[in-house]
């Protein structure tokens, strides 16, 4: 007699991640770590940074794409996805949202809700768990909020990884299945606290899966577990 899964929700999440990974795989043949992405579960999600050390956990808020952030700036609003058909422009905005946050302005739950608004509505390609994994836990957020911790981001550049470009050139038609692009973004996250003139800063780089169908504005599909150069 066959055994039924005791965790149907977990199985659903694994299937969703597998579908997203398959969509990217058709054009990301050489992307390191993709196989792990197809099979990982919540226990293997990327870990966040400790809050009051060299850098806080990356999460999200309105962030600057250029210039130096001011620790005395007013509290930041929750991030809103841009209306664009350019996967690189969207990827840069999404990375800024994921690397910026303001514990003074909103709760961890409100941040998660806002970030989920960046995800594609095609649930078979959306991987909300990969986004949730880069947001501090409720306990960690509470500790950060006690110190009025916030972060702003400067995005340096975004590009299609070489492996993505080469695979796409070899077989251009593969992108039309899901229109999921790999975008690697680099930048700097600056951390500050209430009462301090300055805080720490840390370079950031990530590879995102961005869906840009011709008939719709771009949306986030997920955060890749490894960086594709």
Concatenated DSSP letters for 139-161? HHHHHHHHTT-EEEEEEEEEE--
**DSSP conformational letter for 83:** -
Q: Residue 57 pLDDT > 60, yes or no?
A: no
What whole-number distance in Å separates Cα of residue 81 and Cα of residue 220?
A: 9
Residue 39 neighbours by CB under 8 Å, 6+ apart: 14, 18
Q: Which residue has the tokens 């709760």?
A: 107
pLDDT value of residue 65:
40
pTM comes to 0.73
E-assigned strand segments in the chain: 101-102, 150-159, 180-192, 201-211, 219-223
Mean pLDDT across the stretch 108-116? 97
pLDDT value of residue 201:
87
pLDDT value of residue 194:
85
Q: Residue 16 pLDDT > 90, yes or no?
A: no
Mean pLDDT across the stretch 14-24? 55
Residue 58 neighbours by CB under 8 Å, 6+ apart: 48, 49, 98, 99, 101, 134, 135, 151, 189, 204
Q: What are phi and psi for residue 6, nearest 5 degrees?
A: -85, 0
pLDDT band of residue 76 (cuts 50, 70, 90) is confident
What whole-number distance in Å separates Cα of residue 50 and Cα of residue 127?
A: 24
Q: Residue 92 pLDDT > 90, yes or no?
A: yes
Mean pLDDT across the stretch 11-21? 57
């Amino acid at each position: 007699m066959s055994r039924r899964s005791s965790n149907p929700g977990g199985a659903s999440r694994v299937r969703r991640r597998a579908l997203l990974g398959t969509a990217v795989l058709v054009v990301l043949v050489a992307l390191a770590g993709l196989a792990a992405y197809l099979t990982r579960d919540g226990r293997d999600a990327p870990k966040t940074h400790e809050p009051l050390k060299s850098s806080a956990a990356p999460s999200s808020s309105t962030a600057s794409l250029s210039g130096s952030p001011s620790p005395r700036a007013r509290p930041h609003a929750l991030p809103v996805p841009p209306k664009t058909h350019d996967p690189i422009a969207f990827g840069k905005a999404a990375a800024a949202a994921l690397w910026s946050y303001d514990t003074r302005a909103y709760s961890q739950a409100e941040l998660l809700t806002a970030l989920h608004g960046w995800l594609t509505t095609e649930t078979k390609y959306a991987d909300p768990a990969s986004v949730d994994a880069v947001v501090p836990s409720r306990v960690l957020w509470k500790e950060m909020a006690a110190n009025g911790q916030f972060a702003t981001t400067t995005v340096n550049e975004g590009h299609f990884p070489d492996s993505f470009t080469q695979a796409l050139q070899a077989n251009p038609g593969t992108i039309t299945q899901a229109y999921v692009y790999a975008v690697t973004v680099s930048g700097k996250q600056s951390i500050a606290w209430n009462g301090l003139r300055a805080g720490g800063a840390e370079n950031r780089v990530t590879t995102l899966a961005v869906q840009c169908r011709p008939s719709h504005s771009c949306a986030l599909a997920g955060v890749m577990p490894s960086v594709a150069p």
